[in-house]
């Protein structure tokens, strides 16, 4: 009687191939950070590899090591970079760092020269996010001192779009132009800029290597348009108990829902500890077979309550499967109801939610 997510690996592969077509002449990698956006690092990355992906991006070094244990070839890039203590282990496992500040460039270059080798890295040039990446001042310093790059095999110059999902926002074009400007002063190498949404801005933004993430997992990269991606995950939980209720009764913590008529309330085995946000209390509907039922009361740590008064008893019974995210209610719609984004819902899926895979190789 546990919740589960049903994840279609063939659909993830189909989304990847679609994005490859969108990328045109550019190569298309895959962001598999945060446990492949909550869906399972190893099964997802294996499906992407079988679909032709050879460039994988993780946030942390630990993620890269876990991935390399299963993906023996192909490039794995650590977006957060490495500490000096991890350099030798990264080299031994063929893991590529993203160099995010001038100090990182200097440290990796020194490590390479000490070994008498040219070692691979990507270098992140900030173009407006003001998070990671060489600052404009650091970029200018690097442009004036190319010798700092001695010993570094530049796999790509990288940057990251801030507003590509907002298709009337001029910042995307400004970031592309800033990147082109600084790259005119730096040694030639491949360029990696596009995230999921960036791929939909056209070939002038694609450059050489794209790094899509959420679109692979069914999130809409074009919020102003219908979602071009296919849904890859549905979320389910069984009914634990059904009880009869009378008018004037209340449901759940803070008595936040008042019963208006005689009916039935079902309780299912899912809560905010499983990643179903408390902000979804008293919001949205679920599917029980072919029947919709509203969520009522507070989402608690382990339990959610539903009004199943209008669902036939043959459908709504103890053990019956309840679909919370699926064809009737997409991950983007649920995120909107929660006042957040689908990235957060996907990556919030807890360890207690069993991942079941369709079309595993």
Residue located via tokens 């919740």: 3
Rounded Cα–Cα distance for residues 107 and 204 (Å): 33
pLDDT digits (tens, 9 = 90+) for 189-198: 999 999 999 9
Q: Is the dihedral of CA 171, 174, 180, 186 positive or negative?
A: negative
Q: Which two tokens stand for residue 294?
A: 């509203």
Question: Residues near 266 by Cβ (< 8 Å), separated by ≥ 6?
Answer: 239, 241, 242, 288, 293, 305, 306, 308, 316, 322
pTM assigned to the model: 0.95
High-pLDDT (> 90) share of the chain, %: 99
Cα angle 36, 40, 41 (rounded to 5 degrees) comes to 60
Enumerate the active-site residues. 33, 253
| pLDDT at residue 114 in the model | 95
Residue located via tokens 């290597």: 209
pLDDT higher than threshold 80 for residue 356:
yes
Average pLDDT of the segment spanning 125-145 = 97
pLDDT digits (tens, 9 = 90+) for 47-64: 999 999 999 999 999 999
pLDDT higher than threshold 80 for residue 15:
yes
Rounded Cα–Cα distance for residues 100 and 78 (Å): 11
pLDDT digits (tens, 9 = 90+) for 29-50: 999 999 999 999 999 999 999 9
Question: Which domains are delineated in the chain?
Answer: 9-217 (3.20.20.10), 233-358 (2.40.37.10)
| pLDDT at residue 360 in the model | 82
Rounded Cα–Cα distance for residues 170 and 149 (Å): 32
Average per-residue pLDDT in the chain?
97
């Amino acid at each position: 009687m546990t919740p589960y997510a049903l994840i279609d690996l063939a659909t993830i592969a189909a989304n990847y191939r679609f994005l490859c077509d969108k990328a045109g002449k550019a190569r298309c990698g895959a962001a598999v950070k945060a446990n492949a956006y909550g869906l399972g690092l190893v099964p997802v990355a294996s499906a992407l590899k079988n679909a032709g992906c050879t460039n994988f991006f993780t946030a942390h070094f630990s993620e890269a090591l876990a991935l390399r244990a299963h993906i023996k070839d192909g490039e794995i890039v650590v977006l957060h970079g490495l500490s000096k203590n991890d350099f030798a282990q990264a080299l031994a496992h063929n893991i590529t760092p993203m160099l995010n500040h001038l100090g990182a460039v200097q440290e990796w270059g020194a490590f390479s020269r000490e070994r008498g080798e040219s070692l691979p890295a990507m270098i992140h040039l900030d173009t407006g996010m003001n998070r990671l990446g060489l600052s404009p001042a650091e970029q200018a310093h690097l442009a004036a001192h190319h010798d700092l790059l001695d010993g570094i095999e530049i796999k790509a110059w990288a940057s990251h779009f801030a507003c590509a999902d907002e298709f009337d926002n001029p910042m995307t074009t400004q970031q592309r132009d800033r990147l082109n400007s600084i790259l005119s002063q730096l040694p030639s190498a491949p360029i990696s800029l596009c995230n999921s949404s960036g791929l939909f801005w056209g070939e002038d933004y694609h450059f050489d290597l794209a790094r899509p993430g959420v679109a692979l997992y069914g999130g809409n990269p074009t919020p102003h348009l219908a979602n071009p991606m296919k849904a890859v995950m549905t979320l389910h939980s069984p009914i634990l108990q059904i009880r009869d209720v009378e008018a004037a009764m209340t449901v759940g913590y803070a008595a936040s829902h008042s019963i208006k008529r005689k009916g039935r309330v079902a309780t299912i085995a899912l809560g905010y500890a499983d990643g179903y946000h408390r902000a979804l209390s008293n919001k949205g509907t679920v599917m029980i077979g072919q029947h919709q039922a509203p969520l009522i009361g507070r989402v608690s740590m382990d339990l959610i309550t539903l009004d199943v008064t209008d669902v036939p008893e043959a459908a709504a019974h103890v053990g019956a499967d309840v679909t919370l995210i699926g064809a009737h209610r997409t991950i983007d719609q649920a995120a909107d109801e929660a006042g957040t984004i689908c990235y957060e819902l996907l990556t919030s899926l807890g360890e207690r939610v069993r991942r079941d895979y369709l079309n595993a190789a």
